[in-house]
Amino acid sequence: MMSSLASFWVWALTINLIIMLLYIIGTWTHKHFSKKNVPCLKPLPVFGNMGPLAFGTKSFPEFIADVYNKLKGHKYGGFYEFLKPVVVLRDPELIKMVTIKDFEHFLDHRNLITEDSEPLFGKALFNLQGPRWRHMRSTLSPAFTSSKMKNMFTLVSECGDQMGDFLHRCINDKTMKIESCKIQRADRRLEIEMKDLFTRYTNDVITTTALGIGCDSLKNPQNEFYTMGKKITTMGTLQRLVFLGYSLSPKLMKALKLRFISDKLSDYFRSLIQKTMDTRENKGIIRPDMIHLLMQAKKGTLKNEEDDDANGTPSIKPKLEDDDIISQAFIFFFAGFETVSTLMCFASHLLAVHPDIQTRLQKEIDQTLQENDGKVTYESVHSMKYLDMVLSETLRLYPPAVFMDRKCVKTYTLPTEPSYTLQPGEGIWIPVHGIHHDPEYFPDPEKFDPERFSDENKDKIKPFTYLPFGSGPRNCIGNRFALMESKIVLVHMLSRFNFKVVSRTPIPIKITRRGLNITVDGGFWLGLEERI
Give the residue ranges of the annotated binding site. 476
Tell which residue, 270, 276, 271, 321, has the closest CA to residue 135: 321
The partner residues of 405 in beta bridges, in order of sequence, read 429
Which 3 state secondary structure label does DSSP give 220? Answer: coil
DSSP structure string for 275-344: HHHHHHHHHT---SSHHHHHHHHHHT----TTSB-TTSPBPP-PPP-HHHHHHHHHHHHHHIIIIIHHHH
Reading phi first (left if > 0) and then psi (alpha if -120 to 50, else beta), residue 444 is in: left
Tell me if 94 sits within 8 A of 435, measured CB to CB: no
Rounded CA-CA distance 110/23 in Å is: 27
Q: Which residues are annotated as a binding site for heme?
A: 476
Longest dimension (CA), the chain: 99
Torsion of CA 22, 23, 28, 32, to 10 degrees: 150
Tell which residue, 494, 206, 216, has the closest CA to residue 338: 206
H helix or E strand, kind and range, residue 134 = helix 130-140
The partner residues of 406 in beta bridges, in order of sequence, read 428
